[in-house]
Amino acid sequence: MCELLGMSANTPTDIVFSFSGLMQRGGNTGPHRDGWGIAFYEGKGLREFRDPNPSCNSEIAELVCRYPIKSNIVVGHIRQANAGRIALENTHPFTRELWGKYWTFAHNGQLKGVKKLPLSHYIPVGTTDSEHAFCWIMDQIRSRFPKPPQRPATVKRFIKSLCDQLRDLGVFNMLLTDSRYLYCYCSTKLTWITRRAPFDQASLKDADITVDFAKETTENDVVTVIATEPLTINETWHPLNPGDMVVFDQGELCQR
């Protein structure tokens, strides 16, 4: 299985601390050696880094750790290949455009028979079941809502219904964002934590790194991190139940 990493924040924030822990699971403390990727939103733009090599010894991953890119929304992924060969085009996250926005998607799990789902506008570049599922989701949203609906809750409910359908095909843990909302769906395993004042220290599970967030933040900052498994050893993470979807906006839980 793969592992997911996401972040939603109310102010541009770097994810160096969390990514430093996750990258060790890509071939060092974990078996996810078959590529990694991470996407950072900056205004309307999207900065992506992907590599089919293990993240634990990737020079590109080291660059991401040394270069504190600040973003309100981040989606990351480390891969243990099941469907689709190890290749750059099969490395998550995947991105498509809708309503003049970049949508980004990462998936953990296997979906038996997903490629029988018909596609129209969005076509996969690679051969993974994950990218096919993403294209199907985007097709369904585009068909149902040619223009953005006035009520965002309408889209959220529709995305939840699509995730429920995909969960019937196997394991479907997912992160999806439209550059504002971060949708997090749990099929088997997904957990999250929101950090806000008063901030404290946090220590990674997979690397000998401790950060005092009180020195790195302001009292108004709200930062939520989502991961397949908790990344720290001294904080309380909130696990989702199978079939749960949570949505974050500017670091705050806005729908469950």
Collapsing DSSP to helix, strand or coil, 10 comes out as strand
d(CA 127, CA 125): 7
254 membership: H or E segment, kind and range: strand 252-255
d(CA 198, CA 131): 40
d(CA 79, CA 69): 22
Residue type, 51: D
Q: Dig out the tokens for 197 from the structure.
A: 């004042």
Catalytic residues, by residue number, are: 2
Strands 201-203 and 210-212: antiparallel
175 membership: H or E segment, kind and range: strand 173-177
Helix axes 59-66, 16-24, angle to 10 degrees: 160
d(CA 109, CA 169): 10
Beta partners for residue 71, in sequence order = 13
